[in-house]
Structure 1
């Protein structure tokens, strides 16, 4: 018998197969992240060509994250109103329009607006796919499905810059945006094949649930947001900071840019190798068994990183950071899905993703502040301490048994 969290149209746990999700869910995730990955390294270069200073170019890159942060709550409203399938399609097309604006404009302000549009679409897409998976996958397979979703996205983000670089070599900077547009449009086309989720019929005598709003969701689930939500903010701050830490410390050690890129790439490679085993552990043992070790490993590696003195020691610390981050793939999505209610799930996940994006935005800012006011080593050490704080918060607040969406 399907678990209470399984939708009526979902396959039973014994008959569930990931193959059913390969094309409609994992395929668009790969293509969408590939499309975004293709343009990310090119955005500051195009901004500079359009006359932006270095700080302004960096600000334009940050607009993508800001667009995602500001659009999490509107994304929940869109998903609740039109459903997951059309939200996924709309996100792909909106991202394509933003990238097209970046290609065909010669005005810096319009280019920045296009980047903001890409960030906005990311919020809608990520929320819609998470909401769909939370409903479509039986809880016994949920962590593996969401870990795979996160892992597939990382693979796309890893491949995208290489395809973008090849396109830039052949066609100039606009070529990367061509790859990006092709990726997100293909994601929208595949997303259109996602079957709609059926609304479960009411039991005899059961009243129609009251309509939910963002305010009612915040009120009804405030305890989760103020406990596990804090852990999510800390985890996201550590994850976002790690992307800055490795290249900055490599530069501090006077390593060549190519060597720094190699270390970063190898850390990303090990990150992508462990997402499925981690999801399996979460399904069988519980999310706590992965979430806490993930943060402890990352925290230890970050605290040791300032003591590295060359290629080998920095590589070892970076690989540990990548491994710790990799085993946590899908962790935040799984926690959000497990604690979200069936009725009004998109509202809950909108707030959940907002907390995650707040952490992602604040982590690098804190690192920058501490590096400027104290030292880079102090900043990296502080991120390591935050990782241990996240581990403690997750160990204390994650239930010992998997929660069911209600």
Structure 2
């Protein structure tokens, strides 16, 4: 009997459910981390530093996350990450010591790296290549939906039970994500992933992965760093430019909400285009639209003008949902995939760290408008870099 055709709907709950719940858990605590740090006696700069520990934990844990995934497999790596994140959030909620609170934040970042790498590796192996971009775009989109829901769930809980309730929402969401992930079907161990007719190769190491794929890391990887830098910077440019225009906070929230809404609406059609026409048809337009919006933002002198450019930036970012994961999956080898994706995600996180830092430096040295325009030029550079190096075929090399 012929195999039934593949359908994303059949795996929707098991494959995307943990990501939605993980996003809700993270979204629930991120807005209150600086507030909690302040309540524990931190100054404003120290509170910002503590909040940054989540990103730092993810950055330094990408390579260890690849080792965890390689050792235990994708399913159990997701489960371990969920439990570890729940423990970190519980520590944040229960401690009255700022140092222990910082440790809990770092634990959340560590689990984020392991969870993200393992879920990407799992879908890369489990989904046929003809559905890969749709699956990974949906994965990125579902995570964003979770991050959007999380703050509202936390706000409702805090209204009734106080600040620690936000962390309780996070813990419940993470434990639910872990329970769903534990039901994922097991994959063939990486050491046994040999195509018919292939001879078993020596087990790849991190060093051999860097050596064998250095050309991909130095070409496409550079473009991925540019994308990540632009994405991280665009999260702060809208509020900063709105403040420059002296807009009311309610208007700023509305503009940011419209941009975020467009961001979440278009991930699946974009993945479908990538699967059917190729990665270039989405990656380059995404960066061109975002770059154009960022370059026009310093010319926006009213709420209506800022709304238009923010909407364009949100749309451009939305159609690019999952592109970094898809490009990484396309070029990752079946054996050594965890090592490859660990390096890939490390490069992406480095870009995310550098984007806001570059914006801050240029704003201090020149002006906010110059910093935003430079971020727009970086998006155009990403479009040029990836437009040149992405293979024209939708099939991976």
For the aligned pair, the TM-score class normalised by the smaller chain equals over 0.9
Partner of 1:50: 40
Partner of 1:308: 300
Does the 8 A contact of 2:145 with 2:264 survive in 1?
yes
Does the 8 A contact of 1:71 with 1:123 survive in 2?
yes
Distance 1:325 1:205, change over 3 A: closer
Distance 1:222 1:170, change over 3 A: same
Q: Distance in 1 between matches of 2:196 and 2:12?
A: 36
Equivalent residue of 1:209, what SS? Answer: coil
Partner of 1:19: 9
| 1:120 and 2:110 correspond | yes
Mapping 1:31-180, distance limit 5 Å: 31-180=21-170
Q: Distance in 1 between matches of 2:38 and 2:25?
A: 21
Q: Distance in 2 between matches of 1:375 and 1:121?
A: 37
Unaligned runs of 5+ in 2: none
Partner of 1:262: 254
| 1:282 and 2:274 correspond | yes
Partner of 1:393: 385
Partner of 2:205: 213
**Shift of residue 88 of structure 1?**
0.3
Deviation string for 1:213-237 (max 9, x for gaps)? 1111000000000000000000000
Dislocated runs of 4+, deviation >4 Å: 199-206
Partner of 2:224: 232
Partner of 1:243: 235
Q: Distance in 2 between matches of 1:231 and 1:104?
A: 42
Q: Note the aligned Cα RMSD (angstroms).
A: 1.3
Q: Distance in 1 between matches of 2:320 and 2:200?
A: 37
**Shift of residue 257 of structure 1?**
1.5
Distance 1:371 1:121, change over 3 A: same
The structure 2 residue matched to 1:321, chosen from 313, 319, 330, is 313
**Shift of residue 206 of structure 1?**
4.7
> Under a length normalisation based on structure 2, what TM-score does the superposition of the two structures give?
0.97
Distance 1:78 1:286, change over 3 A: same
Instruction: Give the aligned length.
Output: 394
Deviates more, 1:190-199 or 1:334-343: 190-199
Mapping 1:348-363, distance limit 5 Å: 348-363=340-355
Equivalent residue of 2:80, what SS? Answer: helix
> Under a length normalisation based on structure 1, what TM-score does the superposition of the two structures give?
0.95
| 1:381 and 2:365 correspond | no
Partner of 2:362: 370
